[in-house]
Structure 1
Amino acid sequence: MKTKLLAFLPFMATFAMGQQTYFVSHGGNDSADGSLNSPLLHIHEALERGKASAEREIHIYIREGKYYLDTPLVVDAGEWKNKRLTLSAYNNEPVVLSGARKLSLKWVKQKNGIWKSKTEADKGDQLFVGGEKRILARYPNFEEGTIFNGTAADALAPARVKRWKSPGGGFIHALHARDWGDMHYVITGKDDKSVLFEGGYQNNRPSNMHDKYRFVENIYEELDAPGEWFLDGKAGYLYYYPYPDENIDNEIFEIAEIPSLIEIKGIENDRASDVTVRGICFSQTSRTFMADYEPLLRSDWAIYRGAAVFIENAERCRIEDCEFTGLGGNAIFLSRHIDGCVVKGNYIHQIGASAICIVGDTSAVRSGVFKYEQSVPYELMDKIPGPKNELYPRRCIVEDNLIHDIGLVEKQVAGIQIQVAREINVRHNTIYRVPRAAINIGDGSFGGHVIEYNDAFATVLETSDHGAFNSWGRDRFWHPSYEKMSLMVAEHPELVLLDALFTTYIRYNRFRCDHGWDIDLDDGSSNYHIYGNVCLRGGIKLREGFNRIVENNILINNTLHPHLWFQNCGDIIRRNVFTQAYLPIELKSWGKMVDYNFFSSKNALKQVQKDDTDAHSTSGILHFVDYQHYNLTLPDTSQAFEIGFENIPQNGFGVYSPV
């Protein structure tokens, strides 16, 4: 676990004041009373007892060990009315909930280093040997640290396809043709020259597969390297190519079979509430890249609405001090009507998709459309501000979570994804080694978020044209034609904040993007106040949009990127430290104010002043207290203070709990 859990005193009796306590242990029995000295065997049984109890407070404590689930643990609002449930590890004991099946195998040696065993498992696409994930047979072979851990332009070449006897059930994985995320396909068969396949719906900006960044897997003929495996579910055989030092007769083999481990669910008018999950490790769920995906309005995202811990239509729930690792899909998903929930102190790493998703129902958005190229004519547009219904998250906190090495399977992912939501506070999280954004807000609906004190680096590693913090604002006023949009917002300025009702604050974060911008407000993102941030590499981009204030930020190795600003956009850029001249694209206006900034060179200042900006800005030599150790405090003698810049605290970024 990332944080040290609070110790729990042993319970000497099953009942307390209005409270029922159950213990679960591998040494238990489901006919027992569930006390500390007479525990239950299965967590499902403890939940059944809790539902039936007359007490309001239910505590389920799980003793040390690994618990294999063949179905998720479900907390249904209709069965838990007026109850509070806490599900946690007991007294800091290590507890793992697994979505895998433990296999019984008898190995027989085959040719070319491959071993074979009969197995009862007929499905599964994640295999673990000794607790470590192995590689599903693939081409090209696994190469850690590269896009998709190895890609090849000839992955579907006729000469290679010809070698495959029966590739049905294999997978094709590829980046979007413009590196905007990914697409996945299942192979359905083959003809004389090529495979037949279906899929590609995982990205909401359709394209062809990338002509270079692609690979295939789950094809028997590609089982040719140590650590690779293949399951023939129909025949009931598992094939494995062991590492040279592996004694497979002594190893534990597990195969992931289910995508979800805990589901806390209500309906719109009967919400789940007051469920706390604490101190548990969630692991070994199946991959979900070919599951049902839904488009999230005009953002680039389509998403699988599910996760290892899935919470839908719920209030006052908490996921805290847990670990999520070895997952095939998302870790945590807060879905539809969510109010006052907290995700805090978790350690999320080595997972297939996104870490934390907070996503409402698109039916809550008025005049919503679902493709980039779509729009609603003004005369047909619903012009009432704000949401249409209550099916969206609000007033939630995501705090002190350590997130890294996510998106191992899918690439249109985020450390924290927010969409169709309001007033989400994302603070003191550390996020790194991600293929796309650390934090993404997919639309302006309905604003009011606070993104603060986060530390995000090594982001956008496998894609491009994105940000460590990224947002879209393709809200009601937005149109795919910049010219048509310009005319519409000039005639109807009241449209611009119909969805982005409340200001979103991005403050006191440290961001670094590897293939894009540190802060990327794309395609109409509006109503933002951005201040006190340290941007280490990619600068700040503002494309289209309205009412953005950018002040008192430090932009190292970069600058402001104003793209396609409108007349009367209302943008204010002031009291920032820039190290390069601005890089504008097709501006109709320089906003309400671009002035009182500091530049690290005279040439940069002269260049921006040619556009009649920065009349009161200054330039000078830029010194920091300790640049080598990322202390970007300016000394008292810095000329940057002449334009009103104030030092940014350097010691509050990221998680605050010990790992």
Structure 2
Amino acid sequence: MRIRYFYKVLVCFQFIFLPLLAQNNLYVSPTGNDANKGTILSPLKTPAAAISKISRIKQTHVTIHLRKGTYNLDQPLLLNIDELNGKSVTIEALKNEKVVLSAGRKIPAKWEKHTNNIWKTKVEGPDFESLFINEKPQILARYPNYDSTARVFNGTAEDAISPERIAKWENPAGGYFHALHQGEWGSFHYRIKEIKDGKPVLEGGWQNNRPAPLHLKYRFVENMFEELDAPGEWYYDKTNKTLFVFPHNGIDLTTAEIEVSNLKHIIEIKGTPEKPIHNVTVKGIHFQHTERTIMDHYEPLLRSDWMIYRGGAVLMENTENCVIEDSEFSNLGGNAVMISGHNHASGVTSSYFHDIGSSAICFVGDSSAVRSAAFGYDNFVPYAKMDKTPGPKNNRYPSNCFAENNLIHNIGQIEKQSTGVEIEMASEILVRHNTIYRVPRAGINIGDGCWGGHLIENNDIFETVMETGDHGAFNSWGRDRFWHPNRKVMDSLVAAHPQLILLDAQKTIVMRNNRFRCDHGWDIDLDDGSSNYHIYNNVCLSGGLKFREGFKRTAENNILINNSFHPHVWFKNDGDIFRHNIVMRPYFPILVNDWGQEVDHNLFPDQTALKSAQAFGIDKNSRFGDAEFVDAKNGNYQVKTSSPALNIGFKNFPMDDFGVTKQSLKAISEKVQLPVLLNASLEKELQETTWLGAKIRNVQGLGDRSAFGLPDEKGVILVEIPSTSILTKSKLQAGDVIRMANKEAADNVVRLEAIRQQYNWTGNMEVEILRNQKPLTIKVDLK
């Protein structure tokens, strides 16, 4: 009997488990049950249940198919060594069904009126900082109120924490105070602990690696009940577990779907440096509703300006050949994808990122891999104590990883020190065919020279540095081992020990065939110490190209529309090369005494600009003249066969291969605004235009000269200044004649606009005018 009973049990065991062990496809559906087998007819209910079954499957590859619907997670999905047991895994939406992995939780609300405009409901469970009604994000109660047209933080006020404002708050503990860095280099965020002697006691401010006073103008507060005064706003009373909402017109809260943020991560793919996770693919998933992370632990990233939260909706840590593809990331409180520590051949492709609190895609190595690592701008390791071995100490950094064919926009919604693609302590990262726009700071940022070899190509990046300043559409730093905060010390150090220069920046970073536009800084900004770059075949549409102190950089065959080359504080014998480029303005050098290895064979717009360069002893073989672009109005800046650019060695390159190529993403992407070409021929054609929202025109003929009392027929007349123009903030008036701008002659509307473009990022411009035949100098706020 016992033998027969044992046999029956064994048969039953095999019947239950062998089908599971033999199959390599698991199916999950919101209508399933985690007690099911995981077949397409008997699906599981949660992705976590499917992951827990992987280790028992015999096959070496497992695919988890998610059926359409939203999966609200109560904890992040973890794929680690134990769960995967050496298998490769794909997690994907079945046949392109719409699948959402949400870090939020649904709220079964019972609403009642609190006031005429405000409703309330009890919400038990963890606290939260993001609210979604019918899938749309709502606004945490704030002052000043949300303004979609405001440049910074969607609205700021100088009196955000004034005594008068503070006096209105009955219980502000737990509220937030946000402000830009004084230099507009990012943002700071604080939690209000209490009010003491009429002033807020603040906790925070660790989100930027270049400490500075707070900006006096660009600041706001949120999460105080008394600021709940506009449609779309909400407030959560954590003590009484009560949610208050001021709904938009037409929203019926009693039937609306209510969801709040809950988790900070959605998927974590985590191996160890010794045993990385291999071959995980996540495909066709929409990631939403992570919690904000601005008050979490932030880590300094060497001597760059950055601090960073080392996490995201997807965290990949110690992986190889792991890929996120064809996915969407939106309504996230922090970073979207964080690729942290050792990662090889892993990355993100063909995905869509929008409406994100911080950065989109981050490649961030571990500082343990950096020899003689220094943290903070003013820190340094003395030469005698410095590890002088080239390259990294270990492999705990991303290498041969990629961000390719992605659409990224409207990121950095709360954290302004953020970017589309961030590269720190990494090697040979491929950033290709991405379209990135409407970002508060850089589209692509490289924080150091460790360890180079990146390839940045065929990207389309515009509407950048929208809320900050002193930056670029592409930005980099290179404060590597040779760097010292005292320039004289650094000069003597690199002169005595030139081998230090490329100890970290070992491999050349190549930037080619990109299109950049930054109207508030430089299109390409190689800042402090950025070294070992080859930059060619790029179109810069507005901000030009900047080389601040660094070594061994070559910029050739680039087109700098309406702008020029900005060499700043160069080293002696730096080995820099600038050749075969088309520039449309004179150079803008600052403290350059040694002009590098070669600055020559460039095309200038006119003889004056060429002679200004030749006065420095450079550009002896350069030429001037109209570049003769084929079709500048439609973005084709190839030159005609008669162009003088061909005589200085310039070669045409493709103008139709910038940005995302995936058709579904390309169809919804906004297009770059092409600039009006500010060249000599336009000066003759363009007589009037709109400038900063005002109507302006050239001085024309003896009649204008007589009417305005002018000594000649040069200058720009302000015809009309509508209330919508930013010039209403200045003291300019209709009828003023602008003669000079920032001490340059503004002879016509084209020259005035060309001057503005050089200084737009600074936020202000000084103009000299004639009013009633009397000279005046007026400052104009450009922001």
Instruction: Report the TM-score, using the length of structure 1 for normalisation.
Output: 0.97
Give 2:548's aligned residue.
543
For the pair 1:601 / 2:606, whether they are aligned, the reply is: yes
Deviation at 1:52, TM superposition (A): 2.5
Q: Give distance in 2, aligned partners of 1:406 and 1:145.
A: 16
Give 2:646's aligned residue.
641
For the pair 1:158 / 2:163, whether they are aligned, the reply is: yes
Give 2:563's aligned residue.
558
Q: Give distance in 2, aligned partners of 1:443 and 1:112.
A: 55
Q: Secondary structure at the match of 2:494?
A: helix
Deviation at 1:79, TM superposition (A): 3.2
Give 1:533's aligned residue.
538
Deviation at 1:112, TM superposition (A): 4.8
Give 1:9's aligned residue.
none
Q: Give distance in 2, aligned partners of 1:621 and 1:514.
A: 23
Give 2:410's aligned residue.
405
Q: Secondary structure at the match of 2:463?
A: strand
Give 1:68's aligned residue.
72
For residue 56 of structure 2, what is the amino acid of its counterpart? A
The answer to whether the 8 A contact 1:122-1:236 is kept is no
Q: Give distance in 1, aligned partners of 2:97 and 2:371.
A: 48
Deviations 1:328-363 (A, max 9, x none): 000001100000113100000011000000000011
Give 2:191's aligned residue.
186
Give 1:395's aligned residue.
400
Deviation at 1:483, TM superposition (A): 1.3
Give 1:362's aligned residue.
367
Deviations 1:621-648 (A, max 9, x none): 1332221221111111111100010012
Give 2:248's aligned residue.
243
Q: Give distance in 2, aligned partners of 1:17 and 1:555.
A: 61
The answer to whether the 8 A contact 1:185-1:290 is kept is yes
For the pair 1:95 / 2:107, whether they are aligned, the reply is: no
Q: Give distance in 1, aligned partners of 2:374 and 2:62.
A: 43
Give 2:500's aligned residue.
495
Deviations 1:383-403 (A, max 9, x none): 000001111110112110000
For the pair 1:35 / 2:39, whether they are aligned, the reply is: yes
Moved more, 49-58 or 634-643: 49-58
Q: Give distance in 2, aligned partners of 1:217 and 1:52.
A: 49
Q: Give distance in 2, aligned partners of 1:569 and 1:149.
A: 43
Q: Secondary structure at the match of 1:414?
A: coil
Give 1:580's aligned residue.
585
For residue 314 of structure 1, what is the amino acid of its counterpart? T
Q: Secondary structure at the match of 1:244?
A: coil
Note the residue ranges of structure 2 that are not aligned, 5 or more in a row: 1-17, 666-783
Give 1:346's aligned residue.
351
Of the three residues 72, 76, 86, the one matched with 2:90 is 86
Q: Secondary structure at the match of 1:459?
A: coil
For residue 264 of structure 2, what is the amino acid of its counterpart? P
Deviation at 1:30, TM superposition (A): 1.0
For the pair 1:466 / 2:471, whether they are aligned, the reply is: yes
The answer to whether the 8 A contact 1:122-1:234 is kept is no
Of the three residues 314, 322, 336, the one matched with 1:317 is 322
For residue 158 of structure 2, what is the amino acid of its counterpart? A
Q: Give distance in 1, aligned partners of 2:509 and 2:138.
A: 42
Give 1:374's aligned residue.
379
Give 1:274's aligned residue.
279
Q: Give distance in 2, aligned partners of 1:310 and 1:254.
A: 23
For residue 351 of structure 1, what is the amino acid of its counterpart? I
CA RMSD of aligned residues (A): 1.3
For residue 518 of structure 1, what is the amino acid of its counterpart? D
Distance 1:40 1:631, change over 3 A: same
Residues paired across the two proteins, number: 647
For residue 185 of structure 1, what is the amino acid of its counterpart? Y
Q: Secondary structure at the match of 1:437?
A: coil
Q: Secondary structure at the match of 1:605?
A: helix
For residue 37 of structure 1, what is the amino acid of its counterpart? L
For residue 25 of structure 2, what is the amino acid of its counterpart? T
Deviation at 1:218, TM superposition (A): 0.6
Q: Give distance in 2, aligned partners of 1:557 and 1:480.
A: 33
Give 1:47's aligned residue.
51
Q: Give distance in 2, aligned partners of 1:616 and 1:16.
A: 75
The answer to whether the 8 A contact 2:23-2:57 is kept is no
Deviation at 1:17, TM superposition (A): 11
Report % sequence identity: 52
The answer to whether the 8 A contact 1:321-1:346 is kept is yes
For the pair 1:416 / 2:421, whether they are aligned, the reply is: yes
Give 1:23's aligned residue.
27
Which structure would you say has the larger Rg?
2
The answer to whether the 8 A contact 1:78-1:266 is kept is no
Moved more, 42-51 or 113-122: 113-122
For residue 501 of structure 1, what is the amino acid of its counterpart? Q
For residue 499 of structure 1, what is the amino acid of its counterpart? D
Deviation at 1:18, TM superposition (A): 7.4
For residue 466 of structure 1, what is the amino acid of its counterpart? H
Q: Secondary structure at the match of 2:39?
A: coil
Deviation at 1:374, TM superposition (A): 1.1
Give 2:594's aligned residue.
589
Q: Secondary structure at the match of 2:105?
A: strand
Q: Secondary structure at the match of 1:580?
A: coil
Q: Secondary structure at the match of 1:248?
A: coil
Of the three residues 560, 567, 574, the one matched with 1:569 is 574
The answer to whether the 8 A contact 2:126-2:262 is kept is no
Q: Give distance in 2, aligned partners of 1:497 and 1:214.
A: 41
Deviation at 1:15, TM superposition (A): 6.9
For the pair 1:127 / 2:116, whether they are aligned, the reply is: no
Deviation at 1:110, TM superposition (A): 1.7
Q: Secondary structure at the match of 1:45?
A: helix
Of the three residues 624, 638, 658, the one matched with 1:653 is 658
Deviations 1:17-43 (A, max 9, x none): 976110000121111111111111111
Deviation at 1:234, TM superposition (A): 2.1
For residue 644 of structure 2, what is the amino acid of its counterpart? Q
Distance 1:391 1:117, change over 3 A: same
Give 1:116's aligned residue.
120
